[in-house]
Amino acid sequence: MQRTLSIEALDKVGQEINVKGWVNSRRDHGGLIFIDLRDHRGVVQLTIQPESAEAFGSGEQLRDEFVISATGLVKERDQTLINPNLATGTIEILVSELSILNKSEPLPIQVNTKQNISEENRLKYRYLDLRRPKMQDMLVKRDNLYKTIRNYMQQAQFTEVTTPILANSSPEGARDFVIPSRLHYGKVYALPQAPQQFKQLLMVGGVNRYYQLAACFRDEDPRSDRLYGEFYQLDLEMSFVENGEEVRSMMEPLIKQLVTGFAGKKLLDDNIPKIPYQEALNKYGTDKPDLRFDMELVDLTDIMKDCGFSVFSSVVASGGAVKAIAVPGAKQLSRSQIDKFTEIAKQEGAGGLAYMFIEGGKIVSPIAKFFDEQTLANILNSTKANEGDGIFFGADKITVVNKVLGRLRNEFADHFDLKDPNIIALAWIVDFPFYEWDDKANKLDFGHNPFSMPKGGLSILDSEDKLSILADQFDMVMNGYEICSGGVRNHNPEVLYKVFDVLGFSKQYVDSKFGAMINAFRYGAPPHAGCAFGIDRMFMELVGEDNIREVVAFPKNGSGVDLMMNAPSQPETQVLKDLGFEFTEAKD
């Protein structure tokens, strides 16, 4: 008899069917045995009566997670026995035949429980954790996400092309994973941080529109929104495109479809705003702002020039900035809660956290006595703070102030529950600086992607102020997460040599690193542009998870370890000899 899934039994009342799955629970009521059988579609109740002696005998042996096959008659339950918490709660299967397909030892973690289980144990026994309905649902949702993406890309006449995993290094801002070559002693491959060079070569090769659900590898520290080691992205590129707007307008309908159709959520604004990078920093303190709430940063530098409060006025005199955010309802914060936010500000580089509250139409604060009435009025007018609100200040170098208040803005929104999980706020961040100053290395470096086109082309690279050069690059932000990065590509060898030359890299260096792409550009490379969407991070936000490890089948833990497969592990001595490698003591 063909297998029937649990949820399909609802349409089989009066019919004899066969179901297979795991024992979710077993209840022995003396004369009757009840089994909740679970498959990937849900749970259905099996009822075993003593009259079915063989089945009843098998039923007495059952324990949790035994794998079974049961044949029986689908029957409607009595009205008093309906289980409203079960999708199949209106029916039961009267079992006539029961067979045990496989037994299970006592479980190291429980599958049929809503109790919290430590992440370490869940990842160690992930094959059991995946049996839980939530994880089964997550796998199906991810599959549906892929289907939606592929359908859209194919309808938009993109061609799916897979690119190599064993490749060369590509500067994407993170450390490479390297693979030693046995055949080419002393040399290594690099796992691709992104298929950047390959997709540009596809454009040179005549592919009009390319896409790929690409595996990418970066040796970065894991976070709640970033997997360790490997991740997937919707990678795409378009030929004969000379501005980023064409790429953005091509991809907006897909992302909107994923928000409203796939996830069933509401867009904050159907017209996705375009925010220049510097404006985003000035307003929100970050280039990936969450737009579901306000609390914009307000520049008070001019007001604080001669304010009487030396902490602020001295910062202004030294060329720094004073900014503030007005936080709705912050007057209700306790002393310990304010101390918590002060500690957060210090983590981001602040010396402390000055604040004021609005009470009875007036400013109440330990520092209010240092300001005259006009300055206090100006602060109120500029921040637009209302009764019961709090005003929190940052005073330092502009980069530090933006970083501190940007972090606090996000933390206050979490504390006061201002992030509506049913709303998705999207934004394009544009006009990134092509170069930036690296304080640690004390030198100029690429601000984003070296393969993008500087706005203004070759001539702009001769500008004396290299930090003022903008890149034709863009990011998409979703609820405070960067989910996409893209740009118009540099397809001119002369310009590519020049952008590296500005940083002191020779023509020989560029040829050695990107020789294939440079050579390809000499033979009629079309203008092209593209982007890549981080699938894991985007999916995480669409389904309402706050930990990215919840949305993939087999993630590493927070330390980058695969507890289930015991990876990474020590290679065998012979393997190291074949590759010419040996381990030395770790450096501090």
**In the CATH scheme, what is the homologous superfamily, with its name and number, of domain 293-418?**
GAD-like domain (3.30.1360.30)
Helix (H, G, I), strand (E, B) or coil at 272: coil
What is the mean pLDDT of the segment spanning 77-83?
Answer: 93
> What is the full DSSP assignment across 286-332?
SSS--TTS----EE-TTTTTT-S-HHHHHHHHTT-EEEEEEETTGGG
- The secondary element (H helix, E strand) that includes residue 439 is none
6-102: CATH topology is OB fold (Dihydrolipoamide Acetyltransferase, E2P) (2.40.50)
What is the mean pLDDT of the segment spanning 60-64?
Answer: 95
Other C-beta atoms closer than 10 Å to the C-beta of 575 total: 12
Radius of gyration of the chain (CA): 30
Using one digit for the tens of pLDDT, what is the confidence trace for 453-480? 999 888 899 888 999 999 999 999 999 9
- Identify whether the C-beta of residue 307 lies closer than 8 Å to the C-beta of residue 375: yes
User: In the chain, where are the structural domains located?
Assistant: 6-102, 136-274+426-552, 293-418
Q: How far is CA 257 from the centre of its chain?
A: 18
* Whole-prediction pTM: 0.91
Class of residue 419 by CB neighbours under 10 A (exposed 0-12, middle 13-18, buried 19+): middle
Domain 136-274+426-552 has CATH 3.30.930.10: yes
- Identify whether the C-beta of residue 329 lies closer than 8 Å to the C-beta of residue 389: yes
Using one digit for the tens of pLDDT, what is the confidence trace for 8-60? 999 999 999 999 999 999 999 878 999 999 999 999 999 999 999 999 999 99
Using one digit for the tens of pLDDT, what is the confidence trace for 104-141? 999 999 998 888 899 999 999 999 999 999 999 999 99
Q: Specify the higher pLDDT residue, 180 or 160.
A: 160
**pLDDT at position 30:** 77
Q: What is the largest CA-CA distance in the chain?
A: 94
Using one digit for the tens of pLDDT, what is the confidence trace for 323-351? 999 999 999 999 999 999 999 999 999 99
**pLDDT at position 361:** 84
CA distance 304 to 268: 35
Using one digit for the tens of pLDDT, what is the confidence trace for 195-237? 999 999 999 999 999 999 999 999 988 888 899 999 999 999 9
**pLDDT at position 469:** 92
Using one digit for the tens of pLDDT, what is the confidence trace for 527-586? 999 999 999 999 999 999 999 999 999 999 999 999 999 999 988 888 888 888 887 776
Is the peptide bond between 568 and the residue preceding it cis, with omega within 30 degrees of 0? yes
**pLDDT at position 113:** 84
